Structure 1
Amino acid sequence: MAVQKLTDDGKVTKTIIKPGQGLLPNKKSEVSVHYEAFLVKQDSKFDSSRDRNAPFNFTLQGGQVIQAWEIAIPTMKVGEIAEITCTYDYGYGEKGSPPLVPKKAALRFVVELIGSWEPAGSARQRLEAAAKKKEEGNDLFKKGSLETALFAYRRAREYIIDLWDCEPEEMDECRELVIAIQGNIAMCYIKLREWEHAIEVCKKVLERDPCNVKACYRIGQVSIETLDFEEGIKYVNMGLQVYIYTSIDNKCVPL
């Protein structure tokens, strides 16, 4: 694994442990990471988001993290795991951060970039951001990066799941996009064998679109895995019934 010098003085370095499949964040993106932090001299861990089972979210160039991270994180692709090292002047400075980080401490981090996203304000901006994030998720899914694809789909959903203050055509667009994103989220859960979450999301799809055959089919798939055959038969039959319906003005009506 080659060591990359990220500063001219060589005091911030990065070594890629696992390459990422996603995009690079923008300079002022909001990002989500998992990390473990170590004191180099003592070779001891002093902090870990993984131990807390809680990813750390922050905004780049927002003054929330040490300078080494501001330099290194923008060089990481989504899904990448890297070791980042820095001297104290790119870390917590001469004073350190007592009691965990002593004075003039060199630091080492193992960081995974889980995802990144951009702020969006208006309804149109949120719809465009959601569509872009969905496409990012699709690309990651095709590459087999299921966890990072799932994160991208969730972020896409968060842009628009509560969108209501918009024009009627935007509301229709939002509905269709939410259904598509939810379907993709369910597919990720199925691939990850997270059956309960998969069924929950499929049922949310059916709440918005009772004629969604894919959602019925996927619940049937999951029910085979969970041996809940009664549930599976119920939704498979529901899906089959849709075939005797036709779509008129976006409504399911009997033939």
Structure 2
Amino acid sequence: MINDSNMDLINLTKDGNVTKRILREGVGVSPEKGNSVCVHYESFLQETNTKFDSTRDRKAEFTFNLNSGKVVEAWEVAIPTMKVGEKAEIFCSSEYGYGDEGRTHIVPRKANLRFEVELLGFWENANSAAERIALAEKKKLEGNQLFQTGLTEEALFAYRKARDYIKDLWNCEPEELEQSRLLIVTIQLNIAACYLRLKNYEFAIEVCKRALNRDCTNIKGYYRLALAYLELGEFDQCIEFVKLGLEYRPSNPELLALLSTAEKKKERWLKESKKIYRKMCDN
């Protein structure tokens, strides 16, 4: 073995020289050969625990194709065993890392390594319009599962990839174009739901407006747009978009409840503002 023996270590090779410890469970399926994979990682010399590389320090994700020869062999072995959202420690001997030569000035010769890797997402290549639509639907469903389990950042990644498959789709049959339009509206609103949960209300507003530009009758679009404005304390805009939604569904309970909340909060804000103004004048 090339690391401390623990019950939670998973042996990934017959020789025992690549092992994995799951730090956080993931969700769904695992990537396969040829998939594009996106990760965050930190790399350490196992003997001294010295960090020599980190995407988190660079604040930039790392993307590569599995089995393309772009990463160390330990990753090619370990990452196909991971699920989206999973964070794991990967231990390997030098033969699965940088070999006898190491990396000049960075990794010593014959160094055993430890990596902390988080699988943010993966996606397949698509060519035809039908393939792109099918894969967009697949990534949307994956995003739904991630969102429901609380993995919001990972869900957002999946939804963005779903959108990427079809956002520029145009050279296809009319029915495929309509299917793509409706699907991208749903994906945009799912992205908005992620931004709302992450309290990134400005981005939520932006993607809701894009969705409503494609489908001006979408009630979820009006609700999530109005909710983002409410969270920003922009009560007039919230009320405006709730009322626009109510033009299409006058009895929608979610919109009516949001309208009541917004009007009460606006009234309370106006009263507080008047009190503050009076105090300023009295002084």
Fold shared by both chains (TM-score > 0.5): yes
The corresponding residue for 2:120 is 114
Segments of 5+ residues of structure 2 without an aligned counterpart are: 1-6, 251-283
Matches within 5 A, 1:1-255: 2-243=8-249
Say whether the 8 Å CA contact 1:22–1:79 is kept in structure 2: no
1:100 CA displacement: 1.2
SS of the residue corresponding to residue 126 of structure 2 reads: coil
Q: CA deviation at 1:242?
A: 2.2
CA deviation profile, 1:194-229 (whole Å, cap 9, x unmatched): 111111110111111112221111111111211011
Q: Give the Cα–Cα distance (whole angstroms) in 2 for the partners of residues 45 and 31 of structure 1.
A: 23
Shift of 1:119: 0.5
SS state at 1:24 partner = coil
Cα distance between partner residues in 2 of 1:223 and 1:169: 35
Q: Secondary structure at the match of 2:131?
A: helix
- Aligned residues with identical type, % of pairs: 53
- The structure in which a higher percent of residues are strand is 1
Distance (whole Å) between structure 2 residues aligned to residue 45 and residue 143 of structure 1: 31
**CA apart distance, 1:126:** 0.3
Q: Offset of 1:148 from its aligned partner? A: 1.3
Runs of 4+ more than 2 Å apart: none
CA distance in 2, matches of 1:70, 1:238: 52
Listed one character per residue, the Cα deviations across residues 30-72 of structure 1 (whole Å, up to 9, x for unaligned) are 1100000001122110000011111101110011101000000
Query: With structure 1 as the length reference, what TM-score do the two structures score?
Result: 0.93
Kept in 2: contact 1:183–1:205 (CA 8 A): yes
Larger mean Cα displacement after TM superposition, 195-204 or 233-242:
233-242
Cα distance per residue 1:105-160 (max 9 Å; x no partner): 11100000011111101111100100111111112222222121111111100000
Distance 1:36 1:20 in 2: 18
Residue of structure 2 in register with 1:250 after alignment: none
Q: What is the CA distance between 1:192 and its match in structure 2?
A: 1.8
Q: How many residues align?
A: 244
Larger fraction in helix: 2
Residues 31 and 117, structure 1, Cα contact 8 Å, conserved in 2: yes
What residue identity is the alignment partner of 2:133?
A: L
Q: Which moved more, 1:220-229 or 1:110-119?
A: 220-229
Matched residues in 2 for 1:170 and 1:100: separation?
A: 51
Residue 182 (structure 1) shift: 0.7
**What is the one-letter code of the residue matched to 1:40?**
Q
Q: Secondary structure at the match of 2:38?
A: strand
Residue 279 of structure 2 corresponds to: none
Q: Residue type of the partner of 2:92?
A: C
Aligned AA (2:27): Q
Partner Cα separation in structure 1 for residue 33 and residue 78 of structure 2: 11
Unaligned runs of 5+ in 1: 245-255
Structure 1 range deviating more: 208-217 or 50-59: 208-217
Offset of residue 243 of structure 1: 3.1
